[in-house]
Chains A and B, each alone.
Chain A
Amino acid sequence: MTPDLILFLALALLAVATAVAMLASRSAVYSALFLVLNLVTVAILYLLLNAAFIAMVQVTVYAGAIMVLFLFVIMLLGSQQAAVGPDLPWQRTVSLVLGAALVALMGYVLLAGSRGTLLTATALLEGFGSPQSVGRVLFSEYMVPFEAVSTLLLAAMVGAIVLTRDERTEGR
Chain B
Amino acid sequence: MNIPTNYVVALSAVLFTLGVVGVLIRRNAIIAFMSVELMLNAANLAFIAFARAQQQVSGHVFVFFVIAVAAAEVAVGLALIVTIFKAKHSIDVDQVSSLKG
Are chains A and B touching in the complex at the 8 Å CB cutoff? Answer: yes
Interface residues of A (CB under 8 A from B): 2, 4-5, 7-8, 12, 15-16, 19-20, 22-23, 28, 31-32, 35, 38-39, 42, 45-46, 48-51, 53-54, 57-58, 61-62, 65-66, 69-70, 73-74, 76-77, 79, 82-85, 87-88, 91-92, 94-96, 98-99, 102-103, 106-107, 110-111, 114-121, 123-125, 128-129, 133-134, 136-138, 141-142, 145-146, 149, 152-153, 155-157, 159-161, 163-164
Q: Which of B2, B4, B25 contacts A116 (CB 8 A)?
A: B4
Cβ distance A29 to chain B, nearest Cβ, rounded Å: 10
Interface residues of B (CB under 8 A from A): 1-11, 13-15, 17-22, 24-31, 33-35, 37-38, 41, 44-45, 48-49, 51-53, 55, 57-58, 60-61, 63-65, 67-76, 78-83, 85, 90-92, 94-95
Q: Decide: A119 near B67, CB < 8 A? Known: A83-B27, A159-B75.
A: no
4 shortest interchain CB distances as A-B pairs: A156-B72, A95-B24, A82-B28, A163-B79
Chain B at the A interface: SS class: helix
Count of A-B contacts judged by CB separation below 8 Å: 265
Which B residues are in CB contact (< 8 Å) with A32? 30, 34
Give complex CA distance A124, B71 in Å.
Answer: 31
